[in-house]
Structure 1
Amino acid sequence: MALAETFSRKIHKLGIIPKLVKFLPIFSLLLAFASVGWLLVLPIEGQYRRTYISENALMPAQANSYFRESEWNIVRGYRQEVKDFAHWNQSARNSMVASWLQDIGLKTAVDAEFGTLYAVMNAPRGDHTESVVVAVPWMTSDMQYNEGGVALAVALTRYFSKLSIWSKNIILVFPENGHLPLRKWVEGYHTSLDFLTAGSIDAAIVMEFGGSSDYFEFYEIEYEGINGQLPNLDLMNTANLIGYHEGLKYSIHGTKVDDNSYFLRLRTLIRGIIKLTLTGLINPGTVSGCESFSGWQIQAITIKARGTQGAPDITQFGRIVDSTLRSVNNLLERFHQSFFFYLMLSPQYFVSIGTYLPSACLIAVSFALSSLGCVLNSGIELDIGSILSWFTGIETACYVLSVILPYAVSKTSKASYSGNTFSGTLGSSSADTSDSTTFTDELQASTFILYFFTLLTVFVSVIPFFNKTNRKFIKLSKNTTFSLLAFALFYIAMLIFALLTVHFTLALSIGLLALPMTWIQPIAKDIGQFRIPSVGSHATKKEDPISKIVMFVDSHKSTLKICLCLFTSSPFFIIYIVGNYFGTENNDGALLLMRGLLTSWDQLQCWTWFVVILGWFPAWVSCGIVCAIGDLEQLPLKDEVDKKKKNE
């Protein structure tokens, strides 16, 4: 006890605690830099691991696939037929493909909601309680007619029917695209499709082989699911290992298997984080399809053929699917080994959750320290009652918006899915026209909402210039001001901690993008209060406009910084930036992203919209209110007052 007391007195004498409190904003900023630095370290050799097969029962590439050149003529025959009815309506196409599958011996059915054709091949050696899915969208994520994929799926089914090795049923699904039609089929299969089912689905493969060429250069695997979900790493490693034994090149996020440098690994890591964060939100015409299986404990990947001038032919692509299905068929139980939480650096390297998780933890602690600094550096006592009343009102208003806005967009049409991307390729049926109209209506409603919140962002960001000291009505007390600001930052910290393991990439993205909110209190310390200089303060001199602008900026430098912090940390400003960066040639990326946010829950059960509007946005609104009507003149700390009196 004596040692502890001596140590405590020494700390108090040297004033270490006040000094540490004073530097809390700097510590917060350093932790934010450390969070980014942690990500930059992950691609360094020695920090990542090489992919491997954890489940020995998969035995990839151990059996010889006989789907070879002897099947090429069959694939070509089906392909010519598929090419001929490219402009038929969905019902006619379904009837033709269903007749082929019935001739092979499969049972077929059509999902009434979206007209999705599916067929079941019963396993000769199974008990019909488990199955695997081969999904073949009529349109690929690259907006190509999937004639190679459809023809290959039928030819593979014909080949599968001759084998007696299957212990799991095989389900073929032919949705219009990999977005809403496939998602609704998966949902219906587990809820309302009683006519034709084949047991629980263990795994799914989405096949894309667009274009008319019989050859491809390499294949690409996409694996991101909704709400941060990922397939078991063994499934992806199985497909890649089979491709390696077939002598094929493969890639993930544009990085091929033989590309192995630090910057390429870092690029793949960043692309993976962005893609996983935006899955289910970006333009529905570019979705890969595997995300439609999220939420049902189904391990799903999408295999895409890339290029048209390579040496590999379409039968080699078919052998990838064949051998992968045979490996899954070997399993006696569901996928449970290997990793469900990981980030890919290349097709051969990955980092597991224990390696990358500290990055988001650091950014969360950064917000927590900034919140603590707001209280300790402002010289106030927490006003819990005012915090609860203000933040409850803000959160209630945001909750109402979170429900009303998606409902308003969804009411533009009863059957909402992005059929506009298919009307020009698959024919101009009445269904295509209504789908295009639906998409346009949803986009218009989303445009109005985005523009409204953008104007609100601009208004809130510039209103600190009008925070006058003589405003007595609608004026927050000093305690309420800094208490609300501290609570908003602490709320973001808790939001990040809550999302850490559930949706790491979303938690990290919110932490990094909302970081400017942590700089408001340190900047406000320099100005005390936001003031507007009197009209005649500089009236004695006649100055040119440029000098006046320079003088204005110099005298309002801190205010401008706070306005910039508010503007750049707004979620709707981020929607504009991110949406336009990943937008289309029509420069409507922000509108498409806003539409995706508003419709993703109703269509895909993606809850990113609720995280943004109930987590990030209330904290930003609280900071905006503080800067607009708060008293930001900070009181001197007690130790500083005592020191000043002592000097006097």
Structure 2
Amino acid sequence: MAESNTSKRRTRPIVRLGILLISHSLFFSVVCCIAGVLALLLLPILAKNTYISENALMPGSANTMLSSQDVSEASRLLKDLTDLEFKPEGTGIESQRLIAQYMSNLGAEVTIHKFNRQFHQFHPLHFFTSPDSGAIWENISCSSHGMNTVGIIRAPRGDGKEAIVLVTPYNSVKVGNGEALSLGIAYSVFSLLSKVTWLSKDIIWLVADSQHGEYDSVAAWLRDYHTPVFSGVGTINAETCKGSKAVYELKQKSYTERKIYDDFRRAGTMAAALVIKVTEESEPIGDSLSISAEASNGQMPNLDLINIVNYLAVHRQGLRVKVKKMWSLLDSKWLNLLGELFESIGQVARSLNLQWKFGVPAADYVEGTATLASSLFYQAMGVPTGPHGAFRDYQVDAITLEISPRISPTKMVRHKEFLLRAGRLIEGVVRSVNNLLEKFHQSFFLYLLTSPSKFVSVGVYMIAFAILVASLPVVAASLYVDANSVDSNSRKEKSSPPATLASNLDITRRSWKWLNSAKNVFVVHLWGAVVSLLPYYICQIPNCSPTVRLAVWVLLSMFSLVTLNFIFGSPFSHDIASQLHKEEWAHLKSMTISAAFIGLCLMSVINFATAELGALLIVPMCLIAQPLKLDVKAGSLRTLMRTACSIILGFIGFPPAAYFLLKVVFEGSSNINVGDFWTWVESLWAWNSATYLFIGMVHLPCWALCIHILFHPC
């Protein structure tokens, strides 16, 4: 009776599905790779129009209050700053004195924030830690310090618990026309906000001294803003530099009755931040606005902040809004053909059913793909694209607004009109953020832009990644089953009725093959960790060019690999390696694919864009890797094609080769230098980008293991 009940039991559907996929792993992996790439190419078509999720923002609901009088005061500031350029000495400190005076005349609390020059340097223990943890600060000296000018307006209807930040990068040593105009825009808005009665959040205007870097000056102020400062740190000491003494003389001048505070002044929690910049380049069509939003490790501000800027710029001020694009893709022939194909499919779909809204015009598809590729690229690099990235490290939503006038700033005669237009845009954004009762949270934080008004949410773009990596565990399980079946068959053929000591020893050795493969994979990934740490010590070598440092890095990496193999090797593993069978490289490939799957999934949690681009290189390389000796012996057309694909993917999958190949595709081969790879990697580790860890501890070990499988002497 029990036997009949057991025979009637059926395998669970999920188990049967797994068995089906494992038995057809080759077909399943091919389908997943093609579908994953196709899903990625379909993202511009699946993009949705942006919308305001938070109703309290109400952009454009109130009439603008910025008047020509505010613009006239800003123009007077621009004139005074321009006149300072003709003075032989003291232009830097005099310009800061002038800005502080104008702030003080509006009734703002003005402070001068002193900071030291910041040097980004790689430190292996500072990834995913506090902001600026990898920074090295120079000793205090007159040549290395910078000074930010900060003005704070207290909200008449606020309680001091929230604030909105306006940032204008400004080189106090040499004032550019674009920087002067950005100061004029911020001052006109600051002047208006000092008089309104509806303000419920404090306004902070940070004039960031950008002579040592725009990001560093903002990051230094944010660090002191969120960290208690003692013993006068962050303020000017008149005894340190003689030029700094002039700042304190501002309080003694008769032209101002306001106080310049000695201590570091703070407002409330930052609700949002806007970095205002005016570019030196002119736009032939009309005034335009470029939005930069990427921060460290692919972090993005809440989409609602971009949406209100886009809405007010387009529908209220008539500006042409732009986001970054991969311009080289706009002229790509294959991309234009693909766009025309999708457009034709969309027309056929609409002819069958008007409700099937598939496909976009070919030109829109190409432009959307170029924007999507740029969004993926800058998020994958993990390096901030502007000073706004410093705010995102403190979980403050911030973007950089680069405004390009129709006429070059050096020849502008309509600067008052330009100031009024740009100032009203900033006023509208401040007014919308001022309406918020809580932080941005309604809209998306994980998204990719295909245009200023279209986006792809995380629920859509994760499908492409999930499909692409779905084949990895299935192929790993299939290799495990095949290797075990081959191993068991060989045991049956070699076994004899009287079990001898040699046969028992052979069975014992075979049972350790998986452990040996796991050990090899572990050693290679440990080598990847060592390779990732080497640049920290290579940077200590003085007076070395990037090319020399790259060469030293390569030599030390090869030496460390040989050393690790010598340390972790043993006669037992060597004895097993001498008996080479088909199941041994299958074990190694299965473990390699499993490690790649785990690494890609972990990276997708930290930075999806890096995981997606890495999967496009790693997944095909891991799936197609097979000993070249077996394919050459077979001699068929299919095996020869697989051999060619394996060699090509092995070359492209090497991180330096992939870097130079992409550089040639997007920038041309005229400016190629071997040391460029070191410079690029150095920028990644200097900014504590998780992409650097991915390359060193996931991508490079997987490539090395695949190369080992290709040249396996089976």
Shifted more, 96-105 versus 298-307: the winner is 96-105
Which residue type is aligned with residue 247 of structure 1? Answer: G
Which residue type is aligned with residue 185 of structure 1? Answer: W
Asked if 1:172 is matched to 2:205, the reply is yes
Give the 5 Å matches for 1:415-494: 444-445=545-546, 448-449=549-550, 452-453=553-554, 477-478=580-581, 479-494=583-598
Over 3 Å counting, the alpha-carbon distance change for 1:247 and 1:619 in structure 2 is same
Over 3 Å counting, the alpha-carbon distance change for 1:386 and 1:204 in structure 2 is same
Question: For the residues of structure 2 that align with 1:144 and 1:4, how far apart are their CA atoms?
Answer: 85
In the other structure, the counterpart of 2:63 is: 64
Alignment check: 8 A CA contact 1:82 1:151 kept: no
Asked if 1:295 is matched to 2:384, the reply is no
In the other structure, the counterpart of 1:636 is: none
Alignment check: 8 A CA contact 2:622 2:702 kept: no
Q: 1:203 aligns with which of 254, 272, 276?
A: 272
How far apart are 1:205 and its partner, in Å? 0.8
The Cα RMSD (Å) is 4.2
- How many residue pairs align between the two structures? 553
- Deviation sequence 1:397-437 (CA, Å, 0-9, x none): 3223323314543x479xxxxxxxxxxxxxxxxxxxxxxxx
Shifted more, 34-43 versus 185-194: the winner is 185-194
In the other structure, the counterpart of 1:418 is: none
- Deviation sequence 1:11-31 (CA, Å, 0-9, x none): xxxxx9999657523421321
For structure 2, list consecutive stretches of 5 or more residues without a partner in the other structure.
Answer: 12-16, 118-145, 231-263, 328-360, 409-413, 488-510, 562-573
Question: For the residues of structure 2 that align with 1:397 and 1:255, how far apart are their CA atoms?
Answer: 35
Which residue type is aligned with residue 263 of structure 1? Answer: V
Give the 5 Å matches for 1:294-443: 294-309=392-407, 313-377=418-482, 379=486, 383-406=513-536, 408-409=538-539, 411=540
Give the 5 Å matches for 1:137-176: 137-138=169-170, 146-173=179-206, 174-176=208-210
Over 3 Å counting, the alpha-carbon distance change for 1:451 and 1:94 in structure 2 is farther
Question: For the residues of structure 2 that align with 1:8 and 1:183, how far apart are their CA atoms?
Answer: 63
Alignment check: 8 A CA contact 1:453 1:572 kept: no
Asked if 1:127 is matched to 2:159, the reply is yes
Alignment check: 8 A CA contact 1:516 1:566 kept: no
Alignment check: 8 A CA contact 2:480 2:586 kept: yes
Alignment check: 8 A CA contact 2:546 2:676 kept: no
In the other structure, the counterpart of 1:576 is: 660
How far apart are 1:199 and its partner, in Å? 2.6
Which residue type is aligned with residue 303 of structure 2? Answer: L
Corresponding residue SS for 1:117: strand
How far apart are 1:492 and its partner, in Å? 1.6
How far apart are 1:299 and its partner, in Å? 0.6
Corresponding residue SS for 1:527: helix
Alignment check: 8 A CA contact 2:35 2:467 kept: yes
Question: For the residues of structure 2 that align with 1:386 and 1:616, how far apart are their CA atoms?
Answer: 21
Over 3 Å counting, the alpha-carbon distance change for 1:589 and 1:490 in structure 2 is farther
Question: For the residues of structure 2 that align with 1:473 and 1:79, how far apart are their CA atoms?
Answer: 79
Largest Rg, 1 or 2: 2
Corresponding residue SS for 1:179: helix
In the other structure, the counterpart of 2:240 is: none
For structure 1, list consecutive stretches of 5 or more residues without a partner in the other structure.
Answer: 10-15, 282-286, 414-440, 461-470, 532-552, 634-648
Q: 2:299 aligns with which of 209, 222, 229?
A: 229
Question: For the residues of structure 2 that align with 1:518 and 1:558, how far apart are their CA atoms?
Answer: 13
Over 3 Å counting, the alpha-carbon distance change for 1:164 and 1:554 in structure 2 is closer
Corresponding residue SS for 1:108: strand
Over 3 Å counting, the alpha-carbon distance change for 1:446 and 1:98 in structure 2 is farther
Question: For the residues of structure 2 that align with 1:116 and 1:582, how far apart are their CA atoms?
Answer: 39
Alignment check: 8 A CA contact 2:22 2:474 kept: no
Alignment check: 8 A CA contact 2:271 2:397 kept: yes
Asked if 1:98 is matched to 2:100, the reply is yes
- Deviation sequence 1:99-135 (CA, Å, 0-9, x none): 4323333322223223240413133332222222212
Over 3 Å counting, the alpha-carbon distance change for 1:333 and 1:93 in structure 2 is same
Alignment check: 8 A CA contact 1:32 1:363 kept: yes
Corresponding residue SS for 1:608: helix
- Deviation sequence 1:29-80 (CA, Å, 0-9, x none): 3211111111222332xx3322111111111111222224433333333233
Question: For the residues of structure 1 that align with 2:642 and 2:281, how far apart are their CA atoms?
Answer: 61
How far apart are 1:600 and its partner, in Å? 3.8
Question: For the residues of structure 2 that align with 1:146 and 1:528, how far apart are their CA atoms?
Answer: 64
Alignment check: 8 A CA contact 1:147 1:211 kept: no
Question: For the residues of structure 1 that align with 2:584 and 2:272, how far apart are their CA atoms?
Answer: 54
Q: 2:371 aligns with which of 264, 268, 271?
A: 268
Question: For the residues of structure 1 that align with 2:675 and 2:621, how far apart are their CA atoms?
Answer: 25
In the other structure, the counterpart of 2:40 is: 39
Give the 5 Å matches for 1:72-91: 72-83=71-82
Which residue type is aligned with residue 604 of structure 2? Answer: L
Over 3 Å counting, the alpha-carbon distance change for 1:472 and 1:180 in structure 2 is farther
Alignment check: 8 A CA contact 1:25 1:522 kept: no
Question: For the residues of structure 2 that align with 1:592 and 1:196, how far apart are their CA atoms?
Answer: 43
How far apart are 1:235 and its partner, in Å? 0.7
Corresponding residue SS for 2:533: helix
Over 3 Å counting, the alpha-carbon distance change for 1:245 and 1:19 in structure 2 is closer
Alignment check: 8 A CA contact 1:406 1:599 kept: no
In the other structure, the counterpart of 1:253 is: 324
In the other structure, the counterpart of 1:620 is: 703
In the other structure, the counterpart of 1:608 is: 691
Q: 2:381 aligns with which of 273, 278, 295?
A: 278
Which residue type is aligned with residue 36 of structure 1? Answer: V
In the other structure, the counterpart of 1:181 is: 217
Corresponding residue SS for 1:276: helix
Corresponding residue SS for 1:623: helix
Between the aligned residues of both structures, percent identity stands at 22
Shifted more, 369-378 versus 337-346: the winner is 369-378
Alignment check: 8 A CA contact 2:546 2:678 kept: no
Alignment check: 8 A CA contact 1:571 1:617 kept: yes
How far apart are 1:209 and its partner, in Å? 0.6
In the other structure, the counterpart of 1:427 is: none
Alignment check: 8 A CA contact 2:621 2:706 kept: yes
Which residue type is aligned with residue 600 of structure 2? Answer: I
How far apart are 1:237 and its partner, in Å? 0.7
Asked if 1:512 is matched to 2:595, the reply is no
Which residue type is aligned with residue 578 of structure 1? Answer: L
How far apart are 1:599 and its partner, in Å? 4.3
In the other structure, the counterpart of 1:241 is: 311
Alignment check: 8 A CA contact 2:323 2:452 kept: yes
Shifted more, 234-243 versus 388-397: the winner is 388-397
Over 3 Å counting, the alpha-carbon distance change for 1:84 and 1:170 in structure 2 is same
Corresponding residue SS for 1:562: helix
Alignment check: 8 A CA contact 2:535 2:553 kept: no
In the other structure, the counterpart of 1:434 is: none
Over 3 Å counting, the alpha-carbon distance change for 1:212 and 1:500 in structure 2 is closer
Give the 5 Å matches for 1:211-226: 211=280, 217-226=287-296
How far apart are 1:511 and its partner, in Å? 0.1
How far apart are 1:386 and its partner, in Å? 1.3
Over 3 Å counting, the alpha-carbon distance change for 1:412 and 1:579 in structure 2 is farther
Alignment check: 8 A CA contact 1:364 1:494 kept: no
Question: For the residues of structure 2 that align with 1:558 and 1:75, how far apart are their CA atoms?
Answer: 67
In the other structure, the counterpart of 1:117 is: 148
